[in-house]
Amino acid sequence: MSAVISSRQQGLLAAMPWVFVGVWSTGFVVARLAMPHAPPITFLCWRYAFSLLAFGLWIKAAGLPWPQGRAQWAHLAVSGTLMHAGYLGGVWAAVKAGIPAGTVALIVGLQPLLTALWVTSRGQHRVGPGQWLGLGLGLAGLALVVWPKIGLGEVTPFNLGLSVLALLSITAGTLYQKRHVRPGDVRSANFVQLAAALALSLPLALLEPGAMQWQPELVVALAWSVLGLSLGASSLLFLLIQRGAATRVASLFYLVPPCTAVLAWWLFDERMTAASWSGMALCALGVGLVLRADPA
């Protein structure tokens, strides 16, 4: 019986990265669905609040332990601010400002490049010729997708800057959590992270123009954001960071842009040109070259 349980557990562990990629990719599409009906930061504050309620009830019902020590609470607050408020705030604000869902997903999908470069710069690994080639191919792929859209008015310096902010936030947050946050219960840790994100985001939401328009699309987007993304994908990401090396976890993000582009095409008829698909392929190839030589 124990062998059967062990086999099932191994199967679940093996499926975790792929489930994470599939669910995480829906975040960009959910942003596109909700943004016509809500200011981005205000929507995220509702998401954080409902997620905190769900996690709080879960923690109380299961009698789960809280993180031990002020230092762990502080580290969780920092990582939560970066990975939720910084990353999600940047992505949702960028989508609200008109950037296509596939493009912002591609920009954030460059996280593995930054992660590998950071790990190398810390002296843990040397950047070899293959890695430099991968970095160049990734940047070339990004340019193929983004540059033609600038002239069409779809990508502006403002929404591009928000996308880059999201990229830097998720990269820094992942590295920070891997280095400073000790293993613990994912639900209570997520509660602390979301509380920190809400504390930072709420004052910004009060300054946003407009109000929530409770249309069916908005309700669906909010429900999936809480149940699928906060309770599901964010918890999976926390577990993956605990179990895996930083760049290996980050490498999953290069799979997100193609998945997001397909979802955006299917749901919103968001066209992708041959040059855009070629750029995405170059980006994926570049990230693969970087990570193949960097196991850390």
Check residue 214 and give left, alpha or beta (phi > 0: left; psi -120 to 50: alpha). Answer: beta
pLDDT top residue among 200 and 273: 200
- Residue 292 lies inside a defined structural domain of this protein: no
Residue 20 to residue 203: CA distance in whole angstroms: 30
> Can you give the pLDDT at residue 139?
79
Check residue 114 and give left, alpha or beta (phi > 0: left; psi -120 to 50: alpha). Answer: alpha
Residue 155's SS3 state is coil
Q: How far is CA 288 from CA 110, 132, 155, 285, 292, in A?
A: 11, 12, 26, 5, 6
pLDDT 10s digits, 69-91: 899 999 999 999 999 999 999 98
Q: Among 4-13, 24-33, 227-236, 256-265, which stretch is predicted with the lowest mean pLDDT? A: 4-13
Residue 271 to residue 226: CA distance in whole angstroms: 28
The tally of domains found in the chain comes to 1
Q: What are phi and psi of 145, to 5 degrees?
A: -80, -45
- Residue 10 lies inside a defined structural domain of this protein: no
- Residue 294 lies inside a defined structural domain of this protein: no
- Residue 13 lies inside a defined structural domain of this protein: no
pLDDT surpasses 80 at 292: no
Query: Contact, 64 vs 185, CB < 8 A?
Result: yes
Structure tokens at 216: 């069916």
Residue 82 to residue 225: CA distance in whole angstroms: 18
Q: pTM value?
A: 0.83
Which pLDDT band holds residue 291 (cuts at 50, 70, 90)?
Answer: low
- Residue 296 lies inside a defined structural domain of this protein: no
Percentage of the residues of the chain whose pLDDT score is greater than 90: 36
pLDDT 10s digits, 148-193: 666 666 788 898 999 999 999 999 999 899 889 988 889 999 999 9
pLDDT top residue among 52 and 105: 52
Longest dimension (CA), the chain: 62
Residue 7 to residue 75: CA distance in whole angstroms: 34
Residue 43 to residue 37: CA distance in whole angstroms: 9
pLDDT 10s digits, 261-287: 777 777 777 777 788 788 888 888 877
Query: Contact, 245 vs 294, CB < 8 A?
Result: no
- Residue 52 lies inside a defined structural domain of this protein: yes
Q: How far is the first Cα of the chain from the last one, in angstroms, to the nearest whole number?
A: 35
Residue 221 to residue 213: CA distance in whole angstroms: 12
Q: What is the mean pLDDT of the chain?
A: 83
- Residue 284 lies inside a defined structural domain of this protein: no
- Residue 146 lies inside a defined structural domain of this protein: no
Task: Give the closest residue to 235 by CA, choosing from 34, 28, 19.
Answer: 19
Task: Give the closest residue to 250 by CA, choosing from 24, 7, 81, 58.
Answer: 24
> Can you give the pLDDT at residue 296?
43
| Domain, as residue range, for 64 | 25-108+154-266
pLDDT surpasses 50 at 4: no
